[in-house]
Chain A
Amino acid sequence: MSNETIVQFRVERLSILDENGVVDESLMPSLPDAEILRMYECMVLARTFDQRAVALQREGRLGTYPPSIGQEAAQVGSAFALQPTDWVFPSFREMGVQLTLGYPIRQLFQYWAGDERGQHSPQELNIFPISVSVGTHIPHAVGAAMAARYRRDPVAVIAYFGDGATSKGDFHEGFNMAGLFRLPVVFICQNNQWAISVPLSGQTAAQTLAQKAVAYGFEGVQVDGNDVFAVYRATRDALEKARSGGGATFIECLTYRMADHTTSDDAGRYRSAGDVAAWSARDPLLRLERFMTGRGLWNEQYQTEIRERATAEVDAGIAAMEAEPLLEAAAMFDHTCAALSPRQVWQREGL
């Protein structure tokens, strides 16, 4: 008889850029200055978009909107590692991912204004409609990865979700299948520590979310989600692994939801201003600016230019969205199915 340890696991946490803007050179991915500038500019664009979206909602020009402020590093850093042919399965708080991949700003606003045309991904991108039903798109990413491998296509698949999704059945079913079939898929959890009013401690007894991958037979890693270099490096490595047959990876980006869950939420009901303030000091843009300053890549004039450019892009997107003719009522039938039934045709004619 014996009582021996048969399995042990460990979870690593990757952190490259600290709050003071200092990087660990031994871990720093090689990125030309131009790429670092582009990362920063995408993060500024994401934040500008987000702030404008909240303001537009307050003015009644958008519907309910889920702010993503504070999560720019997790979104831009991971999206930066993707190839245009990769398949992306977003959740609803990933506008920074879509913006980085070049999704039209006009369409992002269009969607949040309540118009499905915003979800029609441009042909050159393979970005799925965002999943509103939490975590239920994880099996879709698994299926796309199965199809990509069957077709011998050199693409990887990435799925984004939040900490709340790790409690859903589809997370576990999808992870199990991804591990079992050793699929070319990367799962990114933006652990912003809040699922509406429920904090992470109310979601799981596990010490990390990353370790959940271990149970399904693949690697899980936690990264500092406000560190754009760490997120980029972890995602790049995971995508390379996926493309070279190494199977799935789960990346937990530890970040924080700085704003309300949505514009309909009031986070003051369930969390203290102090918690939020502590995370302000860890702002992903601030630390990147400090790093760039040290490298001679950033000054206030540059910041002003970049902000102005982002504002102009966002404004142009809003103007284009608002100039778009409204859909006719009959348009709700347009894509219900490939061919309408006689009853649907009759209903459409009766509008």
Chain B
Amino acid sequence: MAQLTMVQAINQALGQEMARDDRVVLLGEDVGKDGGVFRVSEGLLERFGAERVIDTPLAESAIVGATIGMAAYGLRPVAEIQFMGFIYAAIDQIYSHAARLRTRSRGRFTCPLVVRTPYGGGIKAPELHEESSEAIFCHIPGIKVVVPSGPYTAKGLLLAAIRDPDPVIFLEPTRLYRMLREEVPDGEYTLPLGRARVVREGSDVTVVAWGSMLERVLKAVDGYGAEVINPLTLSPFDWETLLESVRKTGRLVIVHEAVKTGGFGAEIAATVAEEGIFYLRAPVLRVTAPDVVVPMSKLMDHFLPSVDQITSALYEVMRY
């Protein structure tokens, strides 16, 4: 066990999996000599060589497209898209190909690949560097969407994602990269995809949060009997754990930093309305970013859900 940052935990996961399985290769912009712009792949070029840690040209669609070809050929490639705002150039590859190659070939070809990308706001970076567009990917059957919330979950989920037989979009909350340290086991371990964790037990209200919002939620719930659920995988979602919790608490607050309309919170609220409406004793509330273009850093604090907004939502649902 060591106290690691999330960057260190992901780096350790990549190194251990590359050592264990020679099918694992990394590719992306600046992942080699530079070790990635966040140093997530630091030292891996030196350890594994340029054949396995591949600095690509600046071409996101070809990075993901080549990753599909490698995966279909039998490798276990891990692509890095430098920031989530640049993944849009590769959405055709993800939507039209990675997600459906298994279906289109009736299982003859598969896509065991991971696309990692820094995700979310609060790092004072330029435009398109602080996106949280997870809902787009959750709408695509055939891929998994995974969001760790710190060093421990990042390592275990990434190892599970690389070993998964299907494509995984792995969203790394950028604000958490170096913000906190956690005890991380030295050896390999996996956290199952599609399984949520209950971070804090409570009986009065269920709060669901992922990515960097979990840290804010944990600050906001002080004094409330809140049960905090951290999905870890958004698609496929662990509905059982969520509904079980809502059945117990009768109240639900969903917190995400993406914009409200069409956000993944809507899917959660709709599912609870379909399958758990009679558990509820208060309206379901969503604490999200407003429906605006992701602002630059001067306005970012007003865009991201704050601890106060989360506390207000808790106060609101507890009135019922």
Query: Chain A interface (Cβ within 8 Å of chain B)?
Result: 87, 89, 116-117, 119-121, 123, 128-129, 131, 133, 136-148, 150-151, 169-170, 173-174, 176-177, 180, 334-338, 341-344
Q: B144 contacts which chain A residues (CB < 8 A)?
A: 337
Q: If the complex has contacts A143-B65, A335-B103, A336-B142, are A128 and B70 also in contact, measured as CB distance less than 8 A?
A: no
Q: If the complex has contacts A140-B97, A143-B73, A173-B59, are A150 and B51 also in contact, measured as CB distance less than 8 A?
A: yes
B109 at the binding interface (Cβ < 8 Å) = yes
Q: How far is the CA of A344 from the CA of B68 in the complex (A)?
A: 24
Main secondary structure of the interface of A (DSSP, over half): helix
Q: Verify A176–B62 contact, CB threshold 8 A.
A: yes
Q: Verify A129–B239 contact, CB threshold 8 A.
A: no
Most buried by B among A144, A173, A338: A173
Q: How far is the CA of A136 from the CA of B69 in the complex (A)?
A: 11
B185 at the binding interface (Cβ < 8 Å) = no
B93 at the binding interface (Cβ < 8 Å) = yes
Question: In the complex, what's the smallest C-beta–C-beta distance from B161 to chain A, in angstroms?
Answer: 13
Those of B148-188 within 8 Å (CB) of chain A = 164-166
| Cross-interface CB contact of A119 among B62, B104, B164, cutoff 8 Å | B104
Q: How far is the CA of A87 from the CA of B73 in the complex (A)?
A: 9
Question: In the complex, what's the smallest C-beta–C-beta distance from B107 to chain A, in angstroms?
Answer: 5
Q: Verify B105–A121 contact, CB threshold 8 A.
A: yes
Q: If the complex has contacts A140-B72, A144-B69, are A174 and B62 also in contact, measured as CB distance less than 8 A?
A: yes
Question: In the complex, what's the smallest C-beta–C-beta distance from A158 to chain B, in angstroms?
Answer: 12
Q: Verify B105–A139 contact, CB threshold 8 A.
A: no
Interface contacts beyond A173-B61, A337-B144: sample of 14 additional A-B pairs, CB < 8 Å, sorted by A: A87-B73, A121-B105, A128-B72, A129-B105, A136-B97, A139-B62, A146-B54, A147-B69, A170-B61, A174-B65, A177-B59, A335-B103, A337-B165, A338-B166
Q: Verify B104–A143 contact, CB threshold 8 A.
A: no
| Cross-interface CB contact of A335 among B66, B73, B102, cutoff 8 Å | B102
Q: B165 contacts which chain A residues (CB < 8 A)?
A: 337-338
| Cross-interface CB contact of A120 among B97, B108, B240, cutoff 8 Å | B108
Question: In the complex, what's the smallest C-beta–C-beta distance from B55 to chain A, in angstroms?
Answer: 10
Name the CB-closest residue of A to B52.
Answer: A150
Q: Verify A139–B103 contact, CB threshold 8 A.
A: no
B236 at the binding interface (Cβ < 8 Å) = yes
Name the CB-closest residue of A to B102.
Answer: A335
- Total chain B interface residues with beta-carbon distance under 8 A: 48
Q: Verify A148–B73 contact, CB threshold 8 A.
A: yes
Q: If the complex has contacts A119-B104, A146-B70, are A342 and B65 also in contact, measured as CB distance less than 8 A?
A: no
Q: How far is the CA of A150 from the CA of B24 in the complex (A)?
A: 11
Q: If the complex has contacts A133-B92, A140-B68, A341-B194, are A119 and B105 also in contact, measured as CB distance less than 8 A?
A: yes
Q: B61 contacts which chain A residues (CB < 8 A)?
A: 136, 139, 169-170, 173
B96 at the binding interface (Cβ < 8 Å) = yes
| Cross-interface CB contact of A129 among B62, B109, B141, B194, cutoff 8 Å | B109
| Cross-interface CB contact of A146 among B64, B69, B97, B194, cutoff 8 Å | B69
Q: How far is the CA of A117 from the CA of B104 in the complex (A)?
A: 8
Q: B237 contacts which chain A residues (CB < 8 A)?
A: 341, 343
B25 at the binding interface (Cβ < 8 Å) = yes
Q: If the complex has contacts A121-B105, A150-B75, are A176 and B57 also in contact, measured as CB distance less than 8 A?
A: yes
Q: Verify B70–A143 contact, CB threshold 8 A.
A: yes
Question: In the complex, what's the smallest C-beta–C-beta distance from A249 to chain B, in angstroms?
Answer: 18
B206 at the binding interface (Cβ < 8 Å) = no
B56 at the binding interface (Cβ < 8 Å) = yes
B262 at the binding interface (Cβ < 8 Å) = no
B132 at the binding interface (Cβ < 8 Å) = no
Those of B68-115 within 8 Å (CB) of chain A = 68-75, 77, 89, 92-93, 96-97, 101-110
Q: How far is the CA of A348 from the CA of B113 in the complex (A)?
A: 26
